[in-house]
Structure 1
Amino acid sequence: MIQLYPWETAILDSPLMQRLRGVRQLGMAYYVYPGAGHDRLEHSLGVVEAADRMIRALVRNAGHRRRFGSDVDEMIPVPDDLDDDIVSTRLAALLHDVGHGPFSHATEFLLRDRYSEDFRKIEAVLRQEFEGVSRIAPSEIIAVLIVLSDAMREVLVHPNFGASNRPEGLAPAIAARILGSRSYLKATYLSGIVSGPLDADKLDYMARDSHHSGLPLGLDLDRLISKLEVVTVTPENAPNPELRKRAENAPKRRFYDIGISLTGLGAYEQMIVGRVILYDRVYYHHKVRSAEAMIRRLIALAEQENGRPLPSLNSSMIVPTIV
């Protein structure tokens, strides 16, 4: 069961989200694996559910640590169910794939190559405005531009939307969660829930893609999620110079991030091995790659016959407005 709040249902019912019913999660993979015809909409709902389970596990385990742990840290923030951190994270999980176009990743390369300079400028702005952002995929950039657009802001700040007591900050907070940024977040350990090394996106697409492809991976997601912990990082225990520097500059010389308890390492290793198998057997299958190349070639031929390229990006979308 996937439970949604009223504002999430309003977003789900919009043409923006319903369009994803026609975008296959695995692009052309269904030509090789006929069962792999699932779409981006069901995946987006699954990411909301996985994100909710991850958040609840982190909050529960953080509370247990504060109450029963030997290294009690009273500073660990434990957000309520309707805290802005959780609201923005769930909305980001729902909206994280709205930037995908037809044939999913198969056409993403075309956009990146065709408008490389535009994407480079946008990425530079996003890296400057959102702390802790690493590589940004073209579909994520488009999703963020949609979230930060004037039309989406009108929805998010509307009195009837009712998602937050500070609606003016909701759009940049959602964008930050899609990018995996620590900006616009009190409980910084939630930054990697939607986009990070171990995120709800991976947890859902790995289970969903393996199921529909008929490729069993033996993932134990219940155990993996239940073993997620809030880790306190200080200059003394930081595993590398980058994290040590961040801890030194943080308030009270500490920050919080997602970690896994030692008893959950087996489930995490299963996930890593399963991801390698999926890339080898499904995502990078030679026939799937061939079908994707044929799609890109067909688009090029259609442009040649029509005598014009794909529509250009609107220049007014290049630099998003961030409050």
Structure 2
Amino acid sequence: MGALCNHDKLSSFTSAHDRRFSKHVHDNVHGNIYLDPLFMKFIDTEEFQRLRDLKQLGVAHMVYPGAVHSRFEHSLGVYWLAGEAVQKLQAYQGLELEIDPFDIQTVKLAGLLHDVGHGPFSHTFEHAFLPQVLNGSKWSHEEMSLKMIDHIVDEHNIEIDSESLKKTKEMVVASSEYASSESMKEKRFLYDIVANGQNGIDVDKFDYIVRDSRACGLGCNFEFRRLLETMRVIDDEICYRAKEYLTIHKLFATRADLHRTVYMHAKVKAIELMVIDALLKANDHLKISSYIDQPAEYWKLDDSILKTIETAPDQELKESRDLILRIRRRDLYQFCNEFSVPKDRLEHFKDITPQDIICSQKNSSITLKEDDVSVSNVRINLTRGRNNPLESIKFFKDFESDEKFPIQDDRISHLLPACYEDRIVRVYSKKPELVEAVSEAFENFQLKTYRMKAQVHDTPEKKKRRR
């Protein structure tokens, strides 16, 4: 791993801000993005270029045709916004905060590399596929990003000082369980720019909210530039002008709307469930899960794994191929019914399983099997579970004030939400002919378990039954 002396470090920092040595690309969200030489060394590697083959929204493009943007362009966007954020703080409070070129470089590098360890199909691979094949052991794309960063530096002999590399990696995992509060004592506010574990306001969200909304043809009235222009560090914490309270609320509300209308769309989830099943059936033969053990192998894993399965002649992959063919022909798992978990049951609610549904079957000529049913347990919140993320944010009155304070919702508007999380259970039938049986079993489950009237949503099959 290369190391630079202090003189070389200073030279590299100085040249990094000279655009004569930079390349630029035109981004459809942020305009011209300038890429300094050090960052190009990371970008021009097969490990980073892999991000071009990871769709930012997984399989959502099969419902929203425009959602074909990649983690590559998102990573460039986060790199650019991370630089803008720290440079604005330097311009407004540089002497006070002692922000130096070293800080700017590490924050930008963290923005660039924050997703380099991401798996295929958005979060489906990490949260739905791997838990079923790893027997309870945990794996996260944040931790994989750290391994990939080290691998890139070593494999491509990138000259970067060890302290800069260490800080970059700490910033990448700042919002995860791998973060160490010990390492973040100095200039703590820098760690909240890319991945904010304190309150969820970070440039990662700024980029994907605007980018995803645009790609899906949805409106977005969240103005992240207002926050970039008005944020201020008080007592080592990024704070926001009090009058921007509703701007911040729009950030979280827009994110929740994207979850409801795009990320958790009923048909998107149906396709995800089929992709998961296809990967599970192919795993023994292709050893897909083994890719996560070594960065040298992991970079070869991307969304193209579906095409590999689809075109392989191996008999062992026939079941997986058949599932992918069903997706291509729009023969999807059939949505049967859903219900929203009541507010008073959210705290102790446990995910519903296919076993729960089939055990609730009554008086049917068809006996359901666990493999006939698929369940999607959807969670939509404002980033802090059932808690209000705005309670973790500090505000200031105006730029002459050095006092920071929280703001309660009821001081702003009585129209703001009283509950901050939705849990929705959706049930799907894997076979069209079983929709009616699965729907009835799900209604029985609701009545038996929650002692409430089942919240029935009409499906074509239910309408036929009432005729």
Q: What TM-score do you get using the length of structure 2 for normalisation?
A: 0.51
Q: Deviations over 1:177-225 (max 9, x none)?
A: 0011562674221111111111111000000000001111211121121
User: What residue is the counterpart of 1:146 in the other structure?
Assistant: 148
Decide which structure has greater strand share: 2
**Structure 2 unaligned regions, length at least 5:** 1-31, 297-467
Look up the match of 1:111: 130
CA distance in 2, matches of 1:202, 1:258: 16
Relative to structure 1, the CA distance from residue 108 to residue 168 in structure 2 (aligned partners, 3 Å threshold; closer, same or farther) is same
Q: How does 1:17-28 map onto structure 2 within 5 Å?
A: 17-28=48-59
Q: Matched residues in 1 for 2:288 and 2:192: separation?
A: 37
Q: CA deviation at 1:312?
A: 6.2
- Structure 1 residues 10, 315: CA separation in 2 closer, same or farther (over 3 Å shift)? closer
- What are the residue-to-residue correspondences of 1:60-71 with 2, within 5 Å? 60-63=91-94
Q: Verify the 8 A CA contact 2:148 2:295 in the aligned structure 1.
A: no
Alpha carbons of 1:79 and 1:145: their partners in 2 closer, same or farther (altered >3 Å)? same
User: Match of 1:216, SS?
Assistant: coil
**For residues 139 and 308 of structure 1, do their structure 2 counterparts lie closer, same or farther at Cα, with a shift above 3 Å needed?**
closer
Pairs aligned (count): 255
Q: 1:213 aligns with which of 201, 216, 221?
A: 216
Cα distance per residue 1:62-120 (max 9 Å; x no partner): 25xx7xxxxxxxxx42313x22x221211111111111122221211222443365537
Seen in structure 2, the aligned counterparts of structure 1 residues 52 and 309 have a Cα distance that, compared at 3 Å, is closer
CA contact (8 A) 1:172 1:184 kept: no
2:191 counterpart letter in structure 1: S
Once the 2 structures are TM-superposed, how far is the Cα of residue 171 of structure 1 from its aligned partner? 2.6
- Offset at residue 230 of structure 1 (A): 0.3
Instruction: Report the secondary structure of 1:173's partner residue.
Output: helix
Q: Cα distance, 1:286 vs. partner?
A: 1.1
The answer to whether the 8 Å contact 2:57/2:122 transfers is yes
The answer on 1:263 being equivalent to 2:243 is yes
Q: Counterpart in 1 of 2:39?
A: 8
Q: CA RMSD in A?
A: 2.5
Partner SS state of residue 34, structure 2: coil
Partners of 1:30 and 1:36 within 8 A in 2? yes
1:135 aligns with none
1: CA distance between counterparts of 2:110 and 2:233? 21
Question: Residues 224 and 184 (structure 1 numbering): CA distance in 2 closer, same or farther, change over 3 Å?
Answer: closer
| Distance in 2, Cα, partners of 1:45 & 1:258 | 23
Q: Does the CA contact (< 8 Å) of 1:147 and 1:174 recur in 2?
A: no
8 Å CA contact 1:57–1:226 kept in 2: the answer is yes
Matching residue of 1:242: none
Residue 55 of structure 2 aligns to a residue in which SS?
coil
> Is residue 307 of structure 2 the alignment partner of residue 288 of structure 1?
no
Deviation at 1:264, TM superposition (A): 2.2
- Structure 2: distance between partners of 1:273 and 1:199: 15
Equivalents in 2 of 1:89, 1:116: separation in Å?
A: 36
Aligned equivalent of 2:68, options 37, 40, 44: 37
Does the aligned pair in 1 maintain the 2:119–2:125 contact within 8 Å? yes
The separation in 1 between residues aligned to 2:66 and 2:82, in whole angstroms, is 25
Q: What is the rounded CA distance, in whole Å, between the counterparts of 2:85 and 2:263 in structure 1? A: 26
- Aligned equivalent of 1:241: none
| DSSP 3-state at the match of 1:27 | coil
Secondary structure of 1:272's aligned partner: helix
TM-aligned CA deviation for residue 45 of structure 1: 0.2
- Check 1:88–1:287 CA distance in 2 against 1; reply closer, same or farther (3 A cut): same
More helix by share: 1
- Alpha-carbon separation, structure 2, partners of 1:41 and 1:49: 13
Gaps of 5+ in 1: 67-75, 121-137, 233-255, 318-323
1:78 to 95, 98, 123: 98
SS in 1 for 2:233: strand
CA distance, structure 1, for counterparts of residue 141 and residue 271 of structure 2: 20
Q: Aligned runs of 1:1-323 on 2, under 5 Å?
A: 1-63=32-94, 76-80=96-100, 82-83=101-102, 85-109=103-127, 110-115=129-134, 118-119=137-138, 138-149=140-151, 152-153=153-154, 155=156, 158=158, 161=159, 163=160, 167-180=161-174, 181=179, 183=183, 186-196=186-196, 197-232=200-235, 256-303=236-283, 306=285, 310-311=289-290, 313-314=292-293
Bigger relative contact order, structure 1 or 2 (CA pairs below 8 A, ≥6 apart):
1
